Structure 1
Amino acid sequence: MEYSYPFSIDWSKNEIVDVIAFFQTIEKAYEKGVKREEVLLKYRRFKEIVPSMAEEKTIFREFEEESGYISYDIVKQTKTSPDGTIIKGINKHGR
């Protein structure tokens, strides 16, 4: 991918790696599909790092502007799907 991932200079190296892993899971959901449980695991870790809903929205928006992938849609689909579901993004914004 030819874009950068959003992160905060206040995060540790491990937190940056974990946030990038979350966004790579979002990419995977759009490209191939990913198990619901994997998205939940990565999202829960993301929320440990970014507990604020306002900050989450800002980071999601930054990622969408860079990549075209809509994180909110994947997270929403994950929260409303039963275990064992393959989460797949329908379309990318502006792509």
Structure 2
Amino acid sequence: MEYQYPFDIDWSTEEVIDVIAFFEAVERAYEKSISRDDLMNRYKRFKEIVPGKAQEKTICNEFEESSGYSAYRVVKKMKDVPESEHITMK
């Protein structure tokens, strides 16, 4: 797929890389599967960079519009899955 990841121009290079890593984890949940622990770690880092709900919603909606993958649904499923399980959105 050809699309760009959303980011804020005020983020450092490391923060951009970490946000992209979170969105790549969302992609993996749709395309294959990802461990809950790996996704949780990436989501926690994402929330350190994007702590506000409004900004999170905006960025995740931009990602969903361009990719078709819902970060919201993946995170919701992550919260419902027991530790050490894998998440798949197939």
Q: Structure 2 length normalisation: TM-score?
A: 0.97
- Identity over aligned pairs, percent: 54
Give the equivalent residue in structure 2 for 1:93: none
RMSD: 0.7
Give the equivalent residue in structure 2 for 1:28: 28
Give the equivalent residue in structure 2 for 1:81: 81
Where do 1:12-91 residues align within 5 Å? 12-90=12-90
Q: Counterparts of 1:53 and 1:4 in 2: how far apart (Å)?
A: 22
Q: Counterparts of 1:28 and 1:69 in 2: how far apart (Å)?
A: 10
C-alpha offsets along residues 25-81 of structure 1, whole Å, 9 cap, x if unaligned?
A: 000010001000010000000000000000000001000000000000000111111
Q: Counterparts of 1:77 and 1:85 in 2: how far apart (Å)?
A: 11
Structure 2: segments with no counterpart, 5+ residues: none
Q: Counterparts of 2:51 and 2:20 in 1: how far apart (Å)?
A: 16
